[in-house]
Amino acid sequence: MVDESPKRALRYNVDKSQLHFILAFSAALKAVADITTYGSRKYEMYNFLKGASSSESVSSLLRHLDAWWQGEELDPESKLHHLAHLAWNALRLCDEHLRGTSVDDRPVALRKTVVPEEAESVSEPDKPTNRGGRC
């Protein structure tokens, strides 16, 4: 008997991040891109790459969270969603820490050094759930 199944190229992606999952959040990602566009007009393009202290990103994130929690959907200045501002600040904070470009001004007593062997990009859950992955 002849094997008639289509041949597929070998791919070695088993332990790599499956970036296609981020497309499930396309509305949120567009909203975050709108925040970046707004910021590039307000300041200058890629101004955020100049760096800022971690506390500035956290404070901004928390102000937007508080405004949203108090019932305000849109930021009065930008007219964009508070949760998109929150997400943008969280992404900036995360990216700077992952790339090692953050101005980490957390109290020293609260910092924990992560040894590279301890950090993993993808971890398997202990058992399947319908709640998604872990942070």
3-state secondary structure of 111: coil
Report yes or no on 131 lying in a domain.
Answer: no
pLDDT the model gives residue 41: 96
pTM of the model: 0.73
Q: Does any domain span residue 15?
A: no
How many C-beta neighbours within 10 Å does residue 111 have?
9
41 assigned to some structural domain: yes
Does the pLDDT at position 88 exceed 70? yes
pLDDT digits (tens, 9 = 90+) for 100-135: 888 989 888 777 766 556 555 555 554 433 333 333
Q: Is residue 67 part of a domain?
A: yes
Q: How many domains does the chain have?
A: 1
Domain interval for residue 56: 25-104
Asked if pLDDT for residue 19 goes beyond 60, the answer is yes
Does 112 fall in a domain?
no
Q: Find the range with the poorest average confidence among 21-25, 26-30, 72-76, 121-125.
A: 121-125
pLDDT of residue 128: 39
Instruction: Report pLDDT for 2.
Output: 63
Q: Answer yes or no: is 63 within a domain.
A: yes
Digit-coded pLDDT (tens) for 28-70: 999 999 999 999 999 999 998 888 899 999 999 999 999 999 9
d(CA 112, CA 106) in angstroms, rounded, equals: 10
Q: Are 90 and 65 in contact (CB under 8 A)?
A: no
111, part of any domain: no
The neighbour count for residue 48, using CB atoms within 10 Å, is 18
The larger pLDDT score, comparing residue 1 to residue 26, is at 26
* HSE, side-chain direction, 13 A CA sphere, residue 28: 10
Radius of gyration of the chain (CA): 20
